[in-house]
Structure formats: C-alpha cells, structure tokens
Amino acid sequence: MDPRFYPSSKNESLDLSSYFAVTSKLKALLGRGEPAYLEEVYVHDYPDWHNGTAYIVLTDISLEMTQPILEEFSPHIQEDIRFLQGPAPLSLIEKWKDTLLELCNGPLKEKGVYWTSISTYYNGKILLGVEKIDSNTIDVVKEVVKGKVPPGIIVIRETGPVILCSG
C-alpha cells in the first residue's frame, strides 16, 4: 500500500476488509477487461483511513458507469463504496507522470524547483512534492509543463528537503 495514504491520525482499529475486497476485485476486472469500458474511465482507488470507505475514482461517475461496477460486489461491500470524479483515465495520468518526471529531472531542476515525490492525489490528479514553494515555484512549473501536461492536473505540495539518514 502506498505510504501517502497512511495519515498520522488513522484509526488503528479500522477494518479495511471492504476496501481490500474492492481493490482486489477492481484489479481483477481491469485484468479481464470487464466491463469493457472500465479501463477507459478508471483512475484509481483508495481507502478512507477513518471509516474504511473504498473510494473509486472514475472519469465518468454516471449511473451507467458505476452500477455495473457496484453489481460486482455484495450488498454489504456496496455500502462501503463511493465514487469520485477524476480528470483522466489512469493510462493518461501515468503518461503525464512520466512526462513530469522527465521535466523534474531536467528543466524544473535547472530552474531551481527540486522534486521529492510524484504520486496520485485522492481525486486522480498528479501530486508533485517539491522541497520548497516560493513566489516563483508555481510560475516555473506552469511554464515548464505548458503543452506537455494539461493545466489543472498537477497539485503541488511542499515537502521540505529529502534528508538521507546514515545508520
């Protein structure tokens, strides 16, 4: 499980069995290509660390898209599933992440923006961790990614510098 989803205030006695059932089934459905449209609308899924709800992020959360997915689960599991609207399917998000990684190691670094992480934000956007956000950071990122990653896809978070520990 990705550590970005482990908040420091998570409920230690939380039952995540519904979430794990959902994520396991989604991976199986994606692997089988059922329903046929799933790969075109799936962005990602994640748990709510306070109540165990499974969030499924899709580009289209209409009843026509969500109902066939819900029907794959027992009524008990369905109660713990919520859908959120995402900006683009996983395949595009991953492509833009790869592009952003290249830009982070090239032009962004050259312009003084130092990245610490790239992951998927809760709503399917790309979460870019940078050491420091100052008055130029946002403008530099916008300038460098323009035409390569669509506007509004990147969420920038200040993380501080990466500190290497010797042990």
Model pLDDT for residues 40-57, shown as the tens digit of each residue: 999 999 999 888 899 999
Would you kindly state where each structural domain of the chain is located, as residue ranges?
Answer: 13-86, 91-158
Distance CA 33, CA 11 (A): 34
Is there a cis peptide before residue 150, judged by omega within 30 degrees of 0? no
pLDDT for position 93: 97
pLDDT at 11 (0 to 100):
60
What span, in angstroms and rounded, lies between the C-alpha atoms of 156 and 167?
31
Query: Does the pLDDT of residue 72 top 50, yes or no?
Result: yes
Tens-place pLDDT, residues 78-94: 999 999 999 999 999 99
CA distance 30 to 39: 6
pLDDT at 2: 42
- According to DSSP, residue 5 is labeled G
What pLDDT, on the 0 to 100 scale, is given for residue 167? 62
Q: Which residues pair with 126 in a beta bridge?
A: 120, 154
Determine the average pLDDT of the residues in 144-156.
Answer: 97
Residue 3 has pLDDT above 60, yes or no: no
Query: Rounded CA gap, 102 and 109, in Å?
Result: 10
